[in-house]
Structure 1
Amino acid sequence: MSEVPPGEPYRAVERYKEITAMATSAVDRTHELERKRAARLEDATTARQERTAEAEQQEEQVTEAVRLRWNAAMEALWDERWMRVTRMPAPDPSAPAATPDESIHSVQAAYLDLHEALGKSRWSVTSWLPKPRRRSRGEE
């Protein structure tokens, strides 16, 4: 067997300790990074859940507002026998994007326009005839 020079086992032990300390330090840094990443992901998940809940609540509000106005419109059209009244249609995916408040305002404005139109005089055959001209004094 060959002899180990004096001090070599001591250097090997020190080198081993250095390497294990670096590995331990790397593991600790990795764990800290993972804890921070987990905390960020948890915060992001919580924020997303809150946004989802808020969006669902807004969707319910818009749906209820539209349903109420649709039902009121159907009641207003009840006497219009010539008009075929149907169930409330499904949402139109081609409609421009709008906030919940803008959507409710738009539906309310359309309902008010309908209500105003129904309050105007109804169509009749005589409404298409020309109106009689008033004679001026010079024509008499």
Structure 2
Amino acid sequence: MTDAVERYRELVELATSAGSRMREHERESAERLGEAVAAGKQRQEESAARRDEVLEDVDARWKAALGALWDERWLRSDGKPAPDRSAPDATPEQSRRALDEAFVELYDALAKPRLLRRKKG
């Protein structure tokens, strides 16, 4: 009977030790996952902030373009166009750079002499 009791104690010790190691492993895994979730939320918040900045730039440039075109009353606008979903993927910085370039092109085009001048009077 002593051998059976001794074997039982060994098995209980093994099970207890395995349970402790498993709990430690689970705690470490939960900690890593918690950190990954927090990092993901941080990246999501940063992405949302960059998106909002790009949208604010687009709105500001749209209003400035309308102001620049004020003298071109023949050119009508039905409002700001919807995003072009067929455009290639770009980072927020690339998008802002493209927006700036398009805006400069608009101003350059408006500064060029008109081919057809309106008759005065």
Structure 2: give runs of 5+ residues left out of the alignment: none
The match for 2:67 among 52, 75, 81 is 75
d(CA) in 2 for partners of 1:36 and 1:83?
A: 64
Aligned-partner residue type, residue 75 of structure 1? G
Q: What does residue 87 of structure 1 align with?
A: 79
Aligned residues with identical type, % of pairs: 45
Counterpart position of 1:131: none
- What is the match of residue 118 of structure 1? 110
Supply the distance in 1 between the matched residues of 2:34 and 2:113 (Cα, whole angstroms): 62
Correspondence 1:97 to 2:89: yes
- For these two proteins, the number of residue pairs brought into alignment is 117
TM-score (norm: length of structure 1):
0.78
Residue 123 (structure 1) shift: 3.2
> Helix, strand or coil: the match of 1:15?
helix
Instruction: Write the deviation string for residues 1-42 of structure 1: whole angstroms up to 9, x where unpaired.
Output: xxxxxxxx1111101101111111111111111011101100
The correspondence for 1:19, drawn from 11, 24, 29, is 11
Counterpart for residue 54 of structure 1: 46
Select which of 24, 41, 53 maps to 2:33: 41
**Structure 2 counterpart SS, 1:32:** helix
Q: Whose radius of gyration is greater, 1 or 2?
A: 1
Separation of aligned partners in 1, 2:78 and 2:58 = 15
Out of 46, 53, 58, the residue aligned to residue 66 of structure 1 is: 58
Q: Could you say what secondary structure the match of 1:81 adopts?
A: coil
TM-score by length of 2: 0.90
Q: More relative contact order in 1 or in 2 (CA 8 Å, sep 6+)?
A: 2
What is the CA distance between 1:120 and its match in structure 2? 1.2
Structure 1: unaligned runs, 5 residues or longer: 1-8, 126-140
